[in-house]
Amino acid sequence: MSIKKRVENKEIEHSLDNTVCETIVLLRNRLQLSKADFAKRIGYSLAHLRRVEKGESLPTMEMIESIIKEFQLNPTWPFLDEGEDLFTGTSRLQADEVSSSAGSRLVQWRKGKGIQQKELAAIAGISLPNLVEVEFGRRRMTTRFAKKIEDACAISASWLLYGDEQSKDNPCGDKMIEFLRKTPEARKIVWEMMEREND
């Protein structure tokens, strides 16, 4: 199904929310591009990209199509189904290399924690065969797969997928966001820390 047809579907259209904004951040990190370089390549201002990545502004279909074209992505991105390739053409080699590294990072982390494959699969709600295939690099680690591990084990999906060391521990994922939504005291502390950082 083409990206336009997917967007014509109201259910998919409704999903153009912060999840898509997060997917753009993950893609940029995967490509190891700064915000400025990424914005320049897709023909948008740095200020606009910042708003999109923060979830303050939703990406338009024109922006999504520009990203797909510039980086030779699967035409259905960012609505990829489990197992679908992110890249097309020559970019697939890059995807394979990243996937292999992601599997290696997962093995390194799991062994460091003394967790068996069967135990991790049960904790994260992932099938054991799928976990084994990812760890051996025979299957790509998807964003959905990485987020399941992040939510269950407090290890960053961004680190698993792209080796982002700064975000490795105590990730700002869905679990933390949900906690902050429900805990105004914690939000206040975080905002105070952010304001001090900006002074």
Give me the CATH number covering residue 41. 1.10.260.40
pLDDT at 189 over 60: yes
* Burial classification of residue 155, based on how many CB atoms lie within 10 Å of its CB (0-12 exposed, 13-18 middle, 19 or more buried): buried
pLDDT at 53 over 50: yes
Do residues 99 and 39 both lie within one domain?
no
pLDDT level of residue 156 (50, 70, 90 thresholds): confident
- What mean pLDDT is predicted for residues 100-129? 89
pLDDT at 16 over 80: no
The C-alpha atoms of residue 127 and residue 110 are separated, in whole angstroms, by: 16
Q: Is residue 123 part of a domain?
A: yes
Residue 191: its pLDDT value, please? 86
Do residues 66 and 128 both lie within one domain?
no
Do residues 101 and 157 both lie within one domain?
yes
Per the CB < 8 A criterion, the answer to whether 155 and 144 are in contact is: no
Residue 30 half-sphere exposure toward CB, CA atoms < 13 A? 25
pLDDT at 92 over 70: no
- What mean pLDDT is predicted for residues 130-148? 85
Do residues 97 and 161 both lie within one domain?
yes
Domain hosting 158: range is 91-167
The C-alpha atoms of residue 140 and residue 98 are separated, in whole angstroms, by: 9
Do residues 55 and 100 both lie within one domain?
no
Q: Is residue 182 part of a domain?
A: no
- Show Cβ contacts of residue 97 under 8 Å, excluding neighbours closer than 6 positions: none
pLDDT at 23 over 70: yes
> Looking at the whole model, is its pTM more than 0.85?
no
Count the domains in the chain. 2
Q: Is residue 106 part of a domain?
A: yes
Q: Would you say the C-alpha torsion 109, 114, 117, 120 has a positive or negative sign?
A: negative
Do residues 99 and 159 both lie within one domain?
yes
pLDDT level of residue 15 (50, 70, 90 thresholds): very low
Q: Is residue 85 part of a domain?
A: no
Q: Is residue 86 part of a domain?
A: no
Q: What is the DSSP letter of 155?
A: B
pLDDT level of residue 34 (50, 70, 90 thresholds): confident
Q: Is residue 19 part of a domain?
A: yes
pLDDT at 95 over 60: no
Q: Is residue 199 part of a domain?
A: no
